[in-house]
Every structure is written in C-alpha cells, then in structure tokens.
Structure 1
Amino acid sequence: MQGSGYLYHILPQLRKMYGDGTEELKTAMKAHSQFFNTSNFLNTIVTGIDLAIEEKEGIDGIDTVSGIKAGLMGPFAAIGDSIFGALIPTIFGALAANMAIQGNPVGIFIWIAAQLAVIVFRWKQLEFAYKEGVSLVTTMQHRLTALTDAATLMGVFMVGALVATMINVKIAWAPSLGDVTLNIQNNLDMILPRLFPAAIVGCVYWLLGRKNMTATRAIFIVLFVCIALSALGVISK
C-alpha cells in the first residue's frame, strides 16, 4: 500500500549510496517497493533505521531492512493511529472546541501549536532513528506493547470524557399520566448521569459496525434524526 511511496521518498539516498543504474540500486528499489503499511506519523523511524543500516552494510543489509520493516509496521501502525490519529486530536480538539464555544480565540492557537509540534516530532524522529540505527529496535521492542496499550486506554478515556462534556442532548418529552408528569430525563439521570449521550454514542458505534456504513453516512443519519426529534419536541439541548 505504501511501498511505492516509501521507495519514492528514500530514492535520492539510495542513488547516493548505490549509484544510478547499478544492479544494487535495482535490487534495493525492488525490495523497497514491496508491501509496507504503517502509521504516517511514525514511518520516519523506520526510514531512519533503514538508511542507517544500508549506509553501513550496503546491499548486504537489505534483508535485515526488510525484516525490520515487516516487524515494525504493525506495532507502529497501532501506536501511531492511537496517539496521533485519536489521542492528540481528541485532547487538543476538545480544548479548542470548548474554548470556541465560549468565544475564546485561544483555542485555535492551541490546535495549531499541537499540529506544529507533531510536524517537528516527525522530522526529529527521522534524525534520531538514523543516529541510533538498528540498536533502537532492541531498545524499544519490549516497550511497544505497553505503549500501545497505554495509548489505547488514554484514547478510550478521552472519548468517555468527551461524551460526558460535549454531547449536550436531553430528553425534553415529558408525558403526563393523569395528574403526574413523568420527567424521563430526571429518571435517567438518577440511574446514571449523562446516560442519554452515552446511549447516542453507543448507537453510532453500532451503526459504524453495519455493512456499507461509513462515518459520513452515520453523521448525516444522526443529523437528520436529531433535527426530526427536536422538531417533534422529543429532545432538546
């Protein structure tokens, strides 16, 4: 999936190491065009290790590089997606959105600063991995699982916090039974505060698991259902 892109961005270095039109270059290009798929936020670590090995061992290290790429792309995909694809956008996006709701323009600068920090991190990790080389693999190998679990747990925690703080939907419908008015929202709050927003998130999660369902379709379904129920007086903000 990312094999051709990976080859494209290291090709200038391969040409410097092996020369143009050489058999070594052709062998390296063929090896690097093989299947490779990992997080775009951590792929430069693999690139740095790759270049360090090939610069030291030449074409003889191509099998080592292929093994490292195959071994790291899975864990890095999980870690990168958890931290940079979910955790950081969730935390800083929530801060920025909450400030925007309150009319505070500082939120946008927090979001921009977070994205700039990610860009700098991606650049610096290439330099770091290149200097450390293959020793970096053995150093961090035993930490990958723990880091993945921690990032996943933090992401789930932040999603739960966002459900409780950012989804402000209440049941406005209060049916009357004789002289008694049944306040459904109060009864739900007595069972579990913010239960209704959690139920909405659960329904969306269930929708996303259906066949041919996409995030865009789920958003429009939620939008139309909320507009309809709000117009009927069933829900309110």
Structure 2
Amino acid sequence: MSNFFKPKDFKDFKDAPAPVQLPDGSYEPVLNDTDLKICSRRMILMDTAPYSYATQNSPACAFSAYYALRKIYGNDEDGFKAALLNQLDCVFNATPPVSGLLLGAGLALEDKGHLNGIHAENDLKVGLMGPLSGIGDVFIWILPMTILGSIAGYMAMEGSPVGILLWCALWMAILVWRQQNYVQGYKAGVSFISKLGDKLSTVTDAASILGLTVVGSLIYSSVKITTPLTFTFGDVTLGMQEGVLDAIFPNLLAVILAFVVYKLIKKGVKLNWIILGILVFSCICSAFGILA
C-alpha cells in the first residue's frame, strides 16, 4: 500500500519498540501528526463502505486506526489485537466530515492509557457521536449544500461555469478539512487529558452515564414494537398496549426486546442469527395478530 495510506517507518511486532510506561501507570504518547493524517486518509478511503447494521461504521474506524494502534502498542501484539477488536465491536455512526474529530480524541485517550483507556474511548464515541453528528449535519450537509448548491445551480442554468467551479471548491474544502480531523481531535483529546489530570476518572464515569443515556434513548426512539391485542369485559374494551403496557412503562416491549438481545449477545450468539430470529418472530407474531 502507498505511503499515502501507510507510515514509512512502519515496523513489524518483532522490530517495534516496547511501549514506555510512566510511573503513574499511563504510557508515553507516540502518535504524531503524520500518523493521524494517515488515519484521516484511510477513513476517507473506506468511509461507509463496510457499514453494517450490527456495528454501523465500526469496520471503517478499525481500518483507519490500524497503523496508529500498531504504533501505540509497539511490540505488544496481544494488546494490539484487543484494541483492534474493540474498534470493531464499539458501535459508531457519525457524520463522515466530522467523525475524525471524535475518533482522534479517542485515539488520544488510548495513546495515553492503552487498554486502560479503551472504555473511556468507547463511552466518548457512543455518548458524543449523536450530538457531533447534529452539528455536522447542520453546518456541513444542510446549510452550505443548500445555500451554495442553490447559487451554483442558478449560475449553471444561466450558462456560467462559475457554478460548477463553486460546487467543486466546496467539496475540495470539505476534503481538506477531513484530512485534518484526526489531528484536531487528537490535540483536543490531549488538552482534555492534561487539563483534567486526576479528575479524568470522574469524567470517564460521566461519559459512561452519557453513553448509557444515549443508548437508552435510541431504544425508545428507534425500536418500534406494539401489540394490537385487546381485552373485552362486557361492553368495555381495553387495549393491551394503551390501557395496560403503556400505563405501566411506555415502550415496555421495546425495552424487553433490547434486554433479550443484550443477553443473547452476552451469551455469544451471532448477530446474524439474532437478526434472523427477530425477523421470523416478528412475522409469526404479526400473522397471528399478536404484534403490530
């Protein structure tokens, strides 16, 4: 692979130096701007190509961070494998032009803490990918595209070549911006760590709470499962969903489903089998009028 996507000084495990552990248990950071720009280029190259419903865009995150992780863990092959699997397992889905900011900040945490920092990294990614995507969608996908796209389209209809040049310039600006994302995110992450010092564990706990809150809200807003069953007592008809379940716990069936899926994943059941099982279960329950 070209050095554009791979560090020139890349070393295999047997030739790589051992990570330097500091007295406080953390590690000497090793990533530089060149390493982080390679991460950005690899993310642009792969982007959403390996997207899956199981882990969203995590495969692209692992692909982009591959050589950065190799450098972080040096000759620690087991540590590198655990870190790479963590990248693949942690669900991630953010607006592509700004995703590098968050991923770069995550690498800063891992560069400093190694495997001790991956939980904070995961919580940071899960907790902030939604809010960051909201900003990215508005200030990159919606406003510039709508305003400049309208201007470029109007100029092109009038026969002016400036319209298409303006549109190309916008995309080139976004591309240049994306190549700096990991560097900016990493520096923000380093600054974040240095300023907090011994308070980092508190912030990690806060990020964990935020991550769990986001996951909980995703269950409520994204998992749609209701039952049309009704009970009739004489002239009174009571809907199972509205009259019973929603009165106890709104969206209770979605929570139960999420809990069952979580338990199956913890037991090692493959995601493809879980998805297939949900499809079959949904079809059967829908056919018999149990679920809507």
What is the TM-score of this pair, normalised by structure 1? Answer: 0.54
Answer yes or no: is 1:129 the counterpart of 2:185.
yes
Give the aligned partner of residue 95 of structure 2.
39
Aligned-partner Cα distance in 1 for 2:75–2:81 = 9
Q: Conserved in 2, the CA contact under 8 Å of 1:129 and 1:136?
A: no
- Higher deviation after alignment, 65-74 or 81-90: 81-90
Q: Conserved in 2, the CA contact under 8 Å of 1:46 and 1:69?
A: yes
Task: Give the length in aligned residue pairs.
Answer: 138
Give the aligned partner of residue 88 of structure 1.
144
Displacement, 1:20? 6.2
Residues 136 and 42 (structure 1), Cα distance of their counterparts in 2 relative to 1, 3 Å cut:
farther
Q: Structure 2: which 5+ runs fail to align? A: 1-55, 196-292
Q: Which has the larger radius of gyration?
A: 1
Q: Map 1:122-161 to 2 at 5 A.
A: 122-133=178-189, 135=191
Q: Deviations over 1:179-214 (max 9, x none)?
A: xxxxxxxxxxxxxxxxxxxxxxxxxxxxxxxxxxxx
Residues 136 and 86 (structure 1), Cα distance of their counterparts in 2 relative to 1, 3 Å cut:
farther
Give the aligned partner of residue 28 of structure 1.
83
Q: Conserved in 2, the CA contact under 8 Å of 1:39 and 1:80?
A: yes
Residue identity matched to 1:25: F
Give the aligned partner of residue 64 of structure 1.
120
Answer yes or no: is 1:8 the counterpart of 2:57.
no
SS in 2 for 1:37: coil
Counterpart among 95, 107, 111 of residue 167 in structure 2:
111
Displacement, 1:124? 2.1
Aligned-partner Cα distance in 2 for 1:5–1:20 = 24
RMSD: 2.0
Q: Structure 1: which 5+ runs fail to align? A: 139-237
Answer yes or no: is 1:79 the counterpart of 2:135.
yes
Residue identity matched to 2:181: Q
Instruction: Give aligned-pair identity as a percent.
Output: 34
Give the aligned partner of residue 154 of structure 2.
98
- Higher deviation after alignment, 105-114 or 120-129: 120-129
Residue identity matched to 2:141: G
Aligned-partner Cα distance in 1 for 2:168–2:147 = 13
Structure number with higher helix proportion? 1
Displacement, 1:81? 2.0
Displacement, 1:26? 2.0
What is the TM-score of this pair, normalised by structure 2? Answer: 0.44
